Structure 1
Amino acid sequence: MCGVAGVLAGPRAEPAGLDELKRMIAMIGHRGPDGYGFYRDGRIGLAHARLSIVGLAGGFQPIHNEERTLWITFNGEIFNHVELRRDLEARGHRFYTRTDTEVIVHAFEEYGPAAWAKLNGQFAIGLWDAVKRELWLVRDRLGILPLFYARSGDHLAFASEAKALFGGGRVEPRFDAARLAQVFTHWSVAPQGSVFAGVQSVPPATAIRIDADLRLHEARYWEPDMAGDPALSRITLDEAADRLEEKLLDAIRLRLRADVPVGVYISGGLDSSVIAALARKLDTTQMHSFGVRFADNAFDETPQQRLVAGHVGTEHHDILCTAEDIQAALPDVIWHGESPLVRTAPAPLFLLSRLVRDSGIRVVLSGEGADEWLAGYDIFKEDKVRRFWARQPHSTARPKLLSRIHPYAATSGQKDSPLWQAFWKRGMTETDDPFYAHRIRWQNTAWTQRLLAPDVRSAANAQAFDEAVAVHLPAGWSRWSPLARTQWTEIAAFMSPYLLTSQGDRVAMANSIEVRYPFLDPEVDDLCAALPDRVKMLGLRDKLALRRVASRLLPAEIFHRPKRPYRAPMTTALFGAQAPAYVQDLLSEESLNRYGLVDAAGVAALAAKAHRTDGRMAGEREEMALVGVLTLQMLARNVLDELPGRASTLRARLDATPIHILEEHLDSAAA
């Protein structure tokens, strides 16, 4: 993985100077600590921060084709680069590096925009066609890696992170009130946005061509078909497991390609355990695994992690995460994540990636994607029960099925509670709503908006988020099963903009660690999309095909284990007697009024309650609200107050690092 940045000048504008490019890329030097590269001509300036993983020698970017007419700054990995290179060499292309980056340049030269769909990888691309004077911004199928852009007068700037846009000086850091409100409903902004005014995100599976006049031409190069393959309609569970295991082995084999050691995350759950077991089948050399150990037993899965590590034979490392550790990590998480959070879950993952770095590993495999593609989340079961209940809305027996999903409801007596049933009954008969399954979650989280300032709250527009997701719904989506539709909504509205960002790329790259996801391999996902629902979820039993694979590889305690959502302590780690000083500071009346983003009186009242109870709140909504406003205050201080000082420090770090100016053609025509 790496960091990318660049500025495209309009036909009558001055090109970006080298100093501006240095300021931009310095802001994201954590993404590539091994050196910096630059390319400039009369229209474009490209910058790159390198994290060396493939092609360690001679792989500095930007990289070009034989004629030096195509230049690329690239973040990510192309896992099928060996196969693509072989094909391109047979077609006459000549390479000057061993990198996967150069393969992209030649693939584009050979196939044009059709090249994007041929890439099996996780990537963010800035590619300059010096002949056509066109810039391409391209992002991988599922949005694993970030890529932002902003128009500023007669220039368009792009970068891996928004802070690089601000560091260049052309883009002013300002919050977008409507998008902030989205975070306090959907946990993140819509896939094509950011919390900053004027800063857009390239959507997943999208290529944007910016022409010589800075006009944008956006096209999707891939979309899923989850209607199910009729040829697989009679497949047995064992046959489905055979195919899934085969595709996962292929995906892991590709993701073990690197010129540095590859480790694996083990959470103690099913998904990461399967990845670890299959990786050990392919790689019999010493493999390191990593996990988080929580001081609070309510969140800890250490026994399961160690059981799996011992069973598959990895050298396991874990890091103890206490309340104090979450307190210390959270400011770094917000600086790198560039968004408020309504949960603290990314903080332990930041600490975990630091452990990986300190262990001398640069690449790890992870199990994200299995729950989405193979129906592992409770939301899929809730959707099924509510649709079943909706056919007999007055039934008293059907709603009790929800207690099988949430056992605490049965043990606490809630399953017979009118309030419990009323909660799940909201909108229950509106089964034609495209976001039927997710509406309850979103409405529940929207309660947190009451702590936002009135003007921010009034900017909230739930319909805008719906439309932003709906505009990218695949063709034929309406013909899919309810389960498939809910799965894709989870992928498009949660996994891509939140899970792979706040809990994925940002906290890993903060410590210069690359995370690779075998469950997000195109062939794995295409198989999952083609399989019938009954080998994913039958009744309320989830991930059946994957559990069958796991039964061949892992102890019964693991493959029979119910899904346990990954969570971390929230207000109990941040409020009360052990509260860090920054909580009092950021939630003081002066700080709250300074930024004007939250309702100072409402925040003060809820924070006082949290301090009195040592963070033990009446419900999760109150916890999410407090974490949300605290991290929003952190972010505001980061970008509105501290940015110049941080930029100066980071620029000094760049000046002490190897710099490669690949080429400059400042005399080239600006037309």
Structure 2
Amino acid sequence: MCGITGIYDVQKRHPLNQALLADMSEKLIHRGPDDCGYFILPESGVGLGFRRLSIIDLSSGNQPLFNEDASKVMICNGEIYNYKELRSQLQQKGHSFKTNCDVEVIVHLYEEYGIDFVNMLNGQFAFAIYDKIRNSIFLVRDHVGIAPLFYTIQDDVLIFGSEIKAILQHPLVKRKVNLQGLDQIFSFPGLVSPTTMFEGIHALSPGHYLYKDQHKTEVKEYWDLDYPLEGEISYDKDEQYYIDGLQEVLEKAVRYRLNADVPVGFYLSGGLDSSLVGALIKKIVPENSRSSFSITFNDKGIDEARHQELMVSHLDSDHNRFRFDWEDIAGRLQNAIYHAETPLKETYNTCSLALSEMVRNNNIKVILTGEGADELFAGYVGYRFDRKRQHEKTGPLDTEAILEQQIRMKLWGDEHFKYEKDFRADEEIKEAIYSQAVYDTYNQFNSVREHLVNKEKLNGRDLVHKRSYIDFKLRISDHLVADHGDRVSYANSIEARYPFLDIDVIKYVATIPPSMKLFDMEEKYILKKAASSLLPKEIINREKFSFVAPGSPYLMKQNIEWINDILSYDRVKRQGFFNPDTVERLKKMYTQENFNINQTFESDLLMIILTFGIFLDQFDMPYYN
């Protein structure tokens, strides 16, 4: 994958030159340090910029790429895993190729089939296609949202990029905090597309494309996860049928992701998901010893070194480990915010930055990782809580409970479904945290009153599938594979690949009975069964481990000058977003001797405030007034 950026000025009212595109592209150099390319057509108001991380066809795969008569031009950040099959089909239809690059199929598929070709792709991608004949442009983001793509329209000028920092280079773009984005971070796992932390700048949502020509601009959904209605499918196959099918699609997903003209390694946490990915790699290419990477800690309570070593021995991998000291958190936190382009609720990203840095230092460009399994196979404690609540009897409701049910109904279409927290109580917390001036406008940006998910995809679904769909929409793309994945890997010019998020794996998992995902209150039951022939029993039977890095209470006790400055009363008051008196009370509470935050169930409020302050500094954001 790489970094893309571009401009489409329909009215041609603003200067367009390579110097501007170069400035925008240069902000993405960490995504593509190997090469660059540009396409500029001033008479049509179109300019495209590209930064390359060379993975496939190292010698001739630079972009932009064109169709045979150069009437269509494309730039792509991504990998198309089924490109060999698609390329063969296109050649049979008479198309000729100039490179061996996987993404070249995109421009020919568009020429042959129009935009409907997108659902033929298996990959992680964000691309732009400019059609000279129609004087139109398509922006497309993959089904899951693994590849990021952001855009804004200013004075009828479309400006886009793989990261927002490229968009901010354009003189038409003004910097302003999006309060809705800030409120989403307090309310949910993180941002939810299309919302970003920058007012007027949008994330193209997963499974969507944007079309623009001189007459219109439209954003359309081309794919969404769709679990079957209860009773819609007759689950009449036995357990072994689903085990066999799951093993088949997972092995194919891993095989696809091993295709590269550079070395490919994998992360190894010691848990089920990454261990299974490693075991499948070993099964597919038993003759090769792959590089594996893990992070360890001095804190024995969270260190997974023993299980990592067990898997290293089992897989015979060339293992590399980084021992992370908690003192490293403060030194990496500002860099984490710069790459994430958002405040964070936790410090985990600093560990991930250290991990990807180790990969880069070992001359590995591609890494396979295990994200996505928890959301698809009922891997979180919330799935068990749902089942318990399903059988609990409820008594008379007080006013607060009724108000909470109203919020749940608006969000999920189900007044009894609880997702992670009580939003009514959360609103009271935010009333105390926001400054009076900000809270006076709260109804304008209250994120729990907005349309977040398609409730039609929740109604009539099993509880496991209901939570899985919400996790898929609220947790995966904008959190786990964005600030936790894409951003921390590309910060060190590393491409991360996600076998569990393969589109064919997702489609198959949707057909597995929910009772085989959460079986007798055991999480990931069917995945464990599929892994049982490949992994040691100690890994299979290991109790789920949720890693949590130290939060703001730890940082506050370090008495670090720049952190104290960001959280100082005068600075918080001057910035105008938060109530400085509340921040002072939080600081006093969080620095008490025995104070602790259960980050699985509680938000680290001071961490959000701290990283928001870092965000303001990193992106030179104006204060609230």
Range into which the TM-score falls when normalised by the shorter chain: over 0.9
Aligned to 1:226: 227
Amino acid aligned to 1:487: S
1:265 aligns with 2:267: yes
What does residue 480 of structure 1 align with? Answer: 461
Shift, 1:532, TM fit: 0.8
CA distance in 2, matches of 1:73, 1:156: 15
Structure 1 residue 230 displacement after superposition: 6.5
Name the CA distance, whole Å, in 1 between partners of 2:176 and 2:145: 24
Q: Which residue of 1 aligns with 2:382?
A: 379
2:367 is aligned to 364
| Secondary structure, counterpart of 1:207 in structure 2 | strand
- Measured after TM superposition, the shift of residue 24 of structure 1 is 0.8
Deviations 1:617-657 (A, max 9, x none): 46658861111000000000111169xxxxxxxxxxxxxxx
Count of aligned pairs = 608
Specify the alignment match of 2:511 in structure 1: 530
2: distance between equivalents of 1:469 and 1:305?
A: 38
**What's 2:135 paired with?**
133
Equivalences for residues 306-455 of structure 1 within 5 A = 306-389=309-392, 392-393=393-394, 427=405, 433=414, 436-438=417-419, 440=421, 449=430, 450-455=432-437
In 2 relative to 1, CA 37–498 (structure 1 residues): closer, same or farther, beyond 3 Å? same
- Separation in 2, partners of 1:18, 1:5: 12
Correspondence for 2:4: 4
Deviations 1:211-260 (A, max 9, x none): 124x3222211122311796761222222111111110000000000001
2:36 matches 1:56: no
Instruction: Choose which of 487, 490, 500 in structure 1 pairs with 2:471.
Output: 490
Output the CA distance in 2 between the equivalents of 1:446 and 1:320: 39
Distance 2:142 2:338 in 1: 24
Report the alpha carbon displacement of residue 155 of structure 1 after superposing the two structures with TM.
1.2
- Kindly indicate whether residue 146 of structure 2 is the aligned counterpart of residue 166 of structure 1: no
Mapping of 1:615-634 within 5 angstroms? 616-617=595-596, 620=599, 624-634=604-614
CA contact (8 A) 1:184 1:446 kept: no
* Residue 39 (structure 2) aligns with: 39
* Superimposed CA distance per residue, residues 370-405 of structure 1 (whole angstroms, 9 cap, x where no aligned partner): 11111111111111111221xx2259xxxxxxxxxx
Contact in 1 for aligned 2:413/2:458 (Cα 8 Å)? no
Residue of structure 1 equivalent to 2:451: 468
The answer to whether structure 1 residue 503 and structure 2 residue 503 are counterparts is: no
Q: Which residue does the alignment assign to 2:150?
A: 148
State the alpha-carbon separation in 2 of the partners of residues 256 and 152 from structure 1.
41
Partner of 2:252: 250
Amino acid at match of 1:453: S
SS of residue matched to 1:334 = helix
Distance (Å, rounded) in 2 between the aligned partners of 1:623 and 1:579: 22
State the Cα distance separating 1:466 from its structure 2 match.
5.6
> Offset at 1:546?
0.7
Q: CA, structure 1 residues 149+604, in 2 after alignment: closer, same or farther (shift >3 Å)?
A: same
What amino acid is aligned across from residue 77 of structure 2 in structure 1? N
1:186 Cα deviation after fit: 0.9
- 1:386–1:147: structure 2 CA closer, same or farther, 3 Å change rule? same
Post-superposition offset of 1:267: 1.1
- Decide which moves more: 61-70 or 216-225: 216-225
Q: Please report the TM-score for the alignment, with normalisation by the length of structure 2.
A: 0.92
Matched, 1:18 2:14: no
Deviations 1:78-116 (A, max 9, x none): 111111111111111111011112111111111111111
Instruction: State the Cα distance separating 1:444 from its structure 2 match.
Output: 6.7
How far has the Cα of 1:55 moved from its partner? 1.1
1:284-323 superposed Cα distances (whole Å, 9 cap, x missing partner): 2120111111222232211111111211221111111111
Mapped to 1, the partners of 2:336 and 2:211 lie a distance apart of 32
Q: What is the 5 A alignment of 1:271-310?
A: 271-284=273-286, 285-310=288-313
Letter in 2 for 1:7: I
Q: Does 1:517 align with 2:498?
A: yes
Distance 1:439 1:458, change over 3 A: farther
Q: Closer, same or farther in 2 for the Cα pair 1:464/1:619, shift >3 Å?
A: closer
- Is the helix fraction higher in 1 or 2? 1
Q: Give the drift of 1:543.
A: 1.0
| Partner residue, 2:218 | 217
Contact 2:40 2:46 (C-alpha < 8 Å) held by counterparts: yes
Unmatched 5+ stretches in structure 2:
none
Q: Where does structure 1 lack aligned partners over 5 or more consecutive residues?
A: 396-421, 643-671
Structure 1 CA distance, aligned partners of 2:467 and 2:143? 18
| Aligned counterpart in structure 1 of residue 189 of structure 2, from 166, 187, 192 | 187
Residue type of the alignment partner of 1:481:
D
**Matched position secondary structure for 2:225:** coil
The answer on whether the counterparts of 2:36 and 2:62 sit within 8 Å (CA) in structure 1 is yes
Identity within the alignment, %: 32
Query: In the alignment, does 2:619 pair up with 1:639?
Result: yes
Retained in 1: the 8 A contact 2:5–2:160? yes
1:66 lines up with 2:68 in the alignment: yes
**In structure 2, how many angstroms separate the alpha carbons of the residues matched to 1:356 and 1:448?**
41
For residues 481 and 577 of structure 2, what CA distance do their matches in structure 1 show?
Answer: 26
What TM-score do you get using the length of structure 1 for normalisation? Answer: 0.86
Which one-letter code corresponds to 1:310 in the other structure?
Answer: S
Contact 1:179 1:460 in 2 (8 A): no
The one-character-per-residue Cα deviations of 1:333-364 (angstroms, maximum 9, x if unpaired) are 00000111111122211111111111111111
Q: Secondary structure at the match of 2:49?
A: strand
Alpha-carbon separation, structure 1, partners of 2:391 and 2:269: 33
State the Cα deviation string for residues 398-455 of structure 1 (Å, max 9, x = none).
Answer: xxxxxxxxxxxxxxxxxxxxxxxx99x9759979527823162656766663333233
What is the CA-CA distance between 1:7 and the residue it aligns to? 0.7
Q: Distance in 1 between matches of 2:239 and 2:271?
A: 21
Which residue in the other structure is 2:568 paired with? 588
1:103 counterpart SS class: helix
**Contact residue 262 and residue 363 of structure 1 kept, 8 A:** yes
- Relative to structure 1, the CA distance from residue 101 to residue 178 in structure 2 (aligned partners, 3 Å threshold; closer, same or farther) is same
Q: Following the alignment from structure 1 to structure 2, what is the Cα–Cα distance between the partners of residues 568 and 223?
A: 33
- Name the residue aligned to 2:548: 567
Does 1:606 find its partner at 2:583? no
Between the aligned partners of 1:572 and 1:122, the Cα distance in structure 2 is 37
Separation in structure 2 between the aligned mates of residue 519 and residue 442 of structure 1, nearest angstrom? 31
Distance in 2 (alpha carbons) for counterparts of 1:95 and 1:19: 30
Structure 2: distance between partners of 1:639 and 1:533: 44
For the structure 1 residues 47 and 59, does the alpha-carbon distance in structure 2 shift closer, same or farther, using more than 3 Å as the test? same
Between the aligned partners of 1:5 and 1:458, the Cα distance in structure 2 is 37
Judged with a 3 Å threshold, the aligned counterparts in structure 2 of structure 1 residues 148 and 272 are, in CA distance, closer, same or farther, namely same
- Distance, in Å, in 2 between the alignment partners of 1:443 and 1:498 is 23
Q: Measured at CA, do residues 591 and 382 of structure 1 come closer, stay the same or move farther in structure 2, by a change above 3 Å? A: same
d(CA) in 1 for partners of 2:260 and 2:415? 41
Paired AA for residue 354 in structure 1: E
Superposed CA offset, 1:159-189 (max 9, x none):
1111111122221111011221111111322
Query: What's 1:414 paired with?
Result: none
Higher RCO by CA contacts (8 Å cutoff, separation 6 or greater): 1
Secondary structure (helix, strand or coil) at the match of 1:31 reads coil
SS state at 1:172 partner: coil
